[in-house]
Structure 1
Amino acid sequence: MNSQAIADRCEQADVELIRLLYVGNDGVVRGHAVEQDHVPDALESGVPLPELVQSFNALGHRVKDAQFDAVGEVRLLPDCSSFRVLDHEDRVAAVLCSLRDSESGHPWSADPRSALSRQLADLADEGLEAALALESEFHLVTDGEEPSPHGDQGVYSTASMRNGHDVILDVVDALQAQGINVHKYYPEYAAGKHEIVTKYGRGIGAVDDYVFLRETVAAVAESHGLGTTFLPYPFDGATNGCHVHLSLWDGDNRFAPSDGDRALSPMGRHFVGGILAHVPALLALTSPTVNSYARLRPQAGAAAYGCWGVENREAAVRIPTAAPGERDTATRVEYRPADNTANPYLSVLGLLAAGLDGIRNEIDPGPPLEADPANCDEATLTDRDIDRLPTTLGEALDALADDDVLRSALGEELTESYLTVKRSEWDAFTDSAATWERERLRDTF
């Protein structure tokens, strides 16, 4: 769809504002909105944006010693292929954007979406295309002085389905109106927790669809007087993940095994080997907040160990069993220690870079683990070279700083700006922990 076709569509749908959306280092969806008469110019040339947007952290604070400060602008340039009218909101459309250098017009080296586009282009040069689905979990929340989960508890329970039916039905309608193919829905274990599964897509469009899913869920819930949270550990005993399903294609699914006794092809196994080799650093991209590590605990269904297994929901990489007759198309890897606080473009970029390193260097992941790693004795874990994943954001950030493969995939400017922003969050947490420690122990000692 070109800019004129978008302008015509906005006029037909009585759109007054079009949102130009992007996701920064902080993982927050942000943007500008332009009025209908200015849509053609915005689509062709973009709108100015200060470079310092990449110096904001998830706490809403600008990091004062970050590399991007008050000087410098980039252009927020729409990708017209991602345009859609948001029928569930009043006279609004939206489009995903990349960030461009104001002078050269080239992709800005600190832009996550552009970095993923570059990785996908390199993949295409090797004759490969990524098939992706980002499987997001969220909670519906009753707003108030003490926000609480909305609805009943019970994994897959029909009582939970009935309780959230009106909201979920409107979300499904809104997603399908945007061309997002909804595959299935179910309530999850905790009260108020839900999951809407969408059909996989190809390339960056699949990641764009995930961004729109998050925005749509929040907007529809608000129209019903409810809040939402995608936080990894929002309430005691409750978690939200964002599992990433991924396979590589060259016309055929290169992860599908030719041997019926195997779960993956050699390429698929090496891809898993690459993920496991880099998983400590990957967590800095896929589980990038302090709260993420409250979710990544043993026997919480979120993965706490660097291992892989067929249908093993406690492994970092799970290989779902494809239905009979669908192995050629449905074989894929599922990366589980990811959540919705991540910038999804960086999550996918990191996974592709790690997996491709595994393919190029034929990294063997070893045999799949057929047990809950938390129930394995230390001798078994040591023999299988299975380590506990990082337990803090600080540990994961140190691993990313030392990982040359992931640093190269992101580029130095994006890597350094990202590490600076995320370390500011870790420092804020450790500073508050010191205050908590003093207050709790002062009276005792």
Structure 2
Amino acid sequence: MSEPTDFDILQAELAEKGVKYLLPSYVDIHGASKSKLVPIAHLKRMMNGSELCTGAALDGVPQVISDDEVGAHPDPASCMIQPWQPEVAWFASDLWCAGKPFEPCSRNILKRVLAEAEAMGYKINLGMEAEFFVLREGEDGEVLPVSTRHNLAKPAYDVPRALENMGWLSETVDAMNELGWDVYSFDHEDGIGQFEIDFAFSDALTTADRFVFFRRMADAIARKHGAFATFMPKPFGNYAGSGAHFNISIADAKTGKNLCVPEGEDPRGCDISEISYQFVAGMLKHLPTLSAVVAPTVNSYKRLILKGSNSGFTWAPVFQCYGNNNRTNTIRIPGGGGRMELRLVDPMCNPYLAAALTIAAGLEGIREKADPGNPHFENMYEKTPKELEALGVKTLPRTLEEALDAFEGSALANSVFGDRMFASWLEYKRGEWLSYLNHVSDWEVKRYMQFY
């Protein structure tokens, strides 16, 4: 009798835990999970790429119907049994085509950038802050916050609202901890029915896998409790929007030492190393291009405004600047140093593509030994346009179209995405913008229908 393989052992372990079905999951252009369901008896075939699909059937995957099918190649290290549905195990998967990795696969794109970082001697660690709204449908179909309490002008960190949601919230946190994600805090945020759950960072690929999984998990558990989770960045005009801030650190690829921690006193005052400043400079240089990918929807840019929340300032990034533990900068260095926070990212991003482009921008800054200039410690929200101009601080793109213009002109974006995904991203997102422009909104009807 032949010796059992690693796949035989994995199959036996999953079966012992009650798993019946497998999801070799890849993502479309949005970062949404796609897959076939595979009975556990066929795990070995699945792990060898048996499950094929037509890329042309998915949003933004650059194939035509006559192309060879792409196959899912699961990463065994990513396997997670779904806590809310334990008969199903999920695997993050790379797409292959014609016997080799499919270049436009989102996960493959991130892996290429991480390989570039490793060749430079670095491992990139990433944390993502999960902000989202949990809502319910009213009797006449209107969307309502899940909270039944009266609205407060400033509901952030409100204890009664957090505690009355402990049914679905506790189940979600328990599920995350069951998976080993180490949730260290969660709270009610600035919008009614808005929550944030913070969990431990990991290497960039693992964190991207987890965020893809998290969006499905949070919604599935909320639906068990008669609600649903939305990762729309700005579902309500009068409340702050949801972010998914990237917290990035650079480690030595061999020793794991955090290279963002300065050896001595930091003369610029942010308590990070020189290599971190170079990484920040790369991100700063490419912020308009990054916007198209980390804030990828029409709705994203309704979050990125100075004011427009019941509680005053929106707390959203607006300016192309960086600084210390100061949330009026787009790139923030949290207290204690050791990491960099890109606050521009929102929860509708494709985390593989968003992380790939962000990390590539930072690596470019390191290679070029770029200088980000002086950090900003002051309240940037209170600066006048003239003061901002004197400081050389520009605003972020105000619309998806502006961000796409920057993306289209970016050699870095083309290099990271590859020609096919670069063209596919532009084509899909330009179409999304045009569709929005052609839509007649309620605002227009109310303002113009009976104007005269």
Q: TM-score, normalised by structure 2?
A: 0.90
Query: Distance between the aligned counterparts of 2:442 and 2:315, measured in 1?
Result: 32
Residue 244 of structure 2 corresponds to which residue in structure 1? Answer: 242
**Number of residue pairs the alignment of both structures matches:** 427
Write the distance in 1 (CA, Å) between the matches of 2:198 and 2:441: 41
What's the secondary structure of 1:315's corresponding residue? coil
Matched, 1:259 2:261: no
| Aligned residues of 2:243 and 2:347 also touching (Cα < 8 A) | yes
Return the offset for 1:222. 1.3
Secondary structure of 2:415 counterpart: helix
**Deviation of 1:380 (Å):** 2.4
Q: Aligned with 1:140: secondary structure?
A: strand
Give me the whole-angstrom Cα distance separating, in 2, the residues matched to 1:88 and 1:235: 29
> 1:438: how far off?
7.9
CA distance in 2, matches of 1:90, 1:127: 39
- The residue aligned with 1:188 is 189
Match status 1:425 vs 2:429: no
Q: Confirm or deny that 1:130 pairs with 2:124.
A: yes
The separation in 2 between residues aligned to 1:138 and 1:435, in whole angstroms, is: 25
Which residue is 2:223 aligned to? 222
Cα distance, 1:437 vs structure 2 = 4.9
- Hey, what does 2:51 align to over in structure 1? 47
Which residue is 1:312 aligned to?
Answer: 326
Moved more, 30-39 or 387-396: 30-39
* Amino acid paired to 2:116: D
Match of 2:8 among 4, 8, 18: 4
Equivalent of residue 346 in structure 1, options 336, 353, 356: 353
CA–CA separation in structure 2 for the residues paired with 1:335 and 1:350: 12
Secondary structure of the structure 1 residue equivalent to 2:393: coil
Structure 1 counterpart of 2:292: 284
Q: What is aligned with 1:62?
A: none
1:268 paired residue number: 276
Q: In 1, Cα distance between the equivalents of 2:213 and 2:130?
A: 12
CA distance in 1, matches of 2:36, 2:258: 39
Which secondary structure does the structure 2 equivalent of 1:45 belong to?
Answer: coil
C-alpha separation in 2, matches of 1:29 and 1:371 = 41
Gaps of 5+ in 2: 307-312
The correspondence of residues 51-62 of structure 1 with structure 2, limited to 5 A, is 51-54=55-58, 56=59
Letter aligned with residue 429 of structure 1: Y
Asked whether the 8 Å contact 1:133–1:200 carries over to 2, the reply is yes
| Contact 2:137-2:144 at 8 Å conserved across structures | yes
Identity of aligned residues (%): 29
Residue 24 of structure 2 corresponds to 20
Q: What letter is aligned with 1:428?
A: S
How far residue 213 of structure 1 moved from its aligned partner, in angstroms, is: 1.9
Alignment of 1:12-411 (within 5 A): 12-54=16-58, 56=59, 68-72=63-67, 73-101=69-97, 103-104=98-99, 106-144=100-138, 145-151=141-147, 152=149, 154-238=155-239, 239-250=241-252, 251-261=256-266, 262-263=269-270, 264-298=272-306, 299-322=313-336, 327=337, 331-411=338-418
Q: CA RMSD in A?
A: 2.0
In structure 2, distance between residues paired with 1:110 and 1:368: 36
Higher alpha-carbon deviation: 376-385 or 136-145: 376-385
Name the CA distance, whole Å, in 2 between partners of 1:402 and 1:204. Answer: 27
The change in CA–CA distance for 1:237 and 1:46 in structure 2 (over 3 A counts) is farther
The one-character-per-residue Cα deviations of 1:47-75 (angstroms, maximum 9, x if unpaired) are 11112145x26xxxxxxxx9533222111
Task: Tell me how far apart the structure 2 counterparts of residues 428 and 361 of structure 1 sit (CA, whole Å).
Answer: 40
Secondary structure class of the residue paired with 2:249? strand
Once residues 2 and 149 of structure 1 are traced to their aligned partners in structure 2, the CA distance between those partners, rounded to angstroms, is: 47
What's the CA shift string for 1:196-255, capped at 9, x where partnerless? Answer: 101110131121122222222111111112111111001232311100000111132221
Query: Contact 1:134–1:244 (CA<8 Å) still a contact in 2?
Result: yes
TM-score for the superposition, normalised by structure 1: 0.91
What's the secondary structure of 1:142's corresponding residue?
strand
Q: Give the unaligned 5+ runs of structure 1.
A: 58-65
